[in-house]
Homo-oligomer: A and B are copies of this chain.
Amino acid sequence: MFKFKKYLTEKQELVNNSLRNILEHFTVNNRLMKAVEFSLMAEGKRVRPVLCIAACEAVHGDIRDTLPVACALEMIHTYSLIHDDLPAMDDDDLRRGKPTCHIQFDEATAILAGDALLTLAFQILSSANILSGHNVKNHPSVWLKIINILSSASGWNGMIGGQMLDISSEDSVLNLDKLEHMHSLKTGALIEASVSAGAIIGGCNTKQLKHLSLYAKKIGLAFQVADDILNVEGDPLVMGKTAGTDAHRNKNTYPSLMGLNGSKKFAGQLICDALQALNNFDKSSDPLRKIASYIINRKK
């Protein structure tokens, strides 16, 4: 039987080692580097990198080829957390069980550390052969495609656009459609990019990509619903961040629109849909199946 916990730990380790290798490749040793390292190497779930790796496995690709992408995804995710936590944005003090970057360092350093991580992601993707420690086989045009997928997903038609919508909709009530649209941009787009990029690196065909994208859309939304539920009933000590902040800020959330039970039912249905999208895949997609369940059963 497939042991998910072991799989997850192994893949997280693989990603952490690759991230560490990348940081060591650069000889910058100053406050900026320390801030980048502080935020990037803080204990994270590495959901996006693991999804990228698992999608590559699902289409029988070589997972070593995904490592530059996996690292770039985690860099983009971490930069978005650093900037979202800033006083002018969500003004959060706690993240991944540690002080947020601007609390540990200062605001200017946090802004620059975020900028540096976003830039580094594209530096890594454009020199994948040099930094992966493994002769990455994909053609340059595949790497260009990956850069386009990641930049589109994290830009103003994706993650940044979603964050803007989120900020501007505080204190006003969204309906479910608008809430879903906001989340499909804010978190969904990068999660879908993680899966698509992994599948493309693994050499998927068009039909596989279509099914995997659907899987990703469903788990992306489920991930957000689960996050909203955790914000209501999660344990701050386990989560490593403050609970109850959404209600405090009058944020539009699934529990606020469909209640706690309604939200849990909805998350369950999304995971069913996600699993169905994997129907035509063999046992190699077991990690993707397990990640789907993990997303709604996690405690942080």
Contacts and interface: CB of A to CB of B under 8 A. Distances in A.
Interface of A: 26, 28, 30-33, 36, 79, 83, 86, 88-89, 106-109, 111-112, 114-116, 118-120, 122-123, 125-127, 139-141, 143-145, 147-148, 151-152, 154-157, 160-161, 163-165, 167-168
- Copies of this protein, total: 2
Contacts of A112: 83, 160, 163-164, 167
Contacts of A30: 161, 164-165, 168
A4 to B, nearest CB: 33
Chain B CB within 10 A, most for which of A109, A111, A139, A140: A111
A8 B141 CA distance: 34
A122 B148 CA distance: 7
Given A126-B147, A144-B140, A167-B108, A26 B88 contact: no
Given A106-B88, A144-B143, A156 B36 contact: yes
A88 B120 CA distance: 22
Contact of A139 (B79, B106, B140, B145): B140
A215 B268 CA distance: 62
Given A32-B164, A108-B89, A109-B164, A122 B122 contact: yes
B123 A151 contact: yes
Q: Across chains A and B, which 10 residue pairs bring their CB atoms closest together, nearest first?
A: A88-B107, A126-B148, A123-B151, A140-B140, A119-B155, A126-B147, A140-B141, A116-B156, A32-B164, A122-B151
A85 B31 CA distance: 20
B88 A111 contact: yes
29 contacts: A28-B156, A28-B157, A30-B161, A32-B156, A32-B161, A36-B156, A83-B112, A86-B108, A88-B108, A88-B111, A89-B108, A108-B167, A109-B164, A111-B111, A114-B115, A115-B160, A119-B154, A119-B155, A120-B151, A122-B122, A122-B151, A123-B151, A123-B152, A125-B147, A126-B147, A127-B148, A139-B140, A140-B143, A147-B147
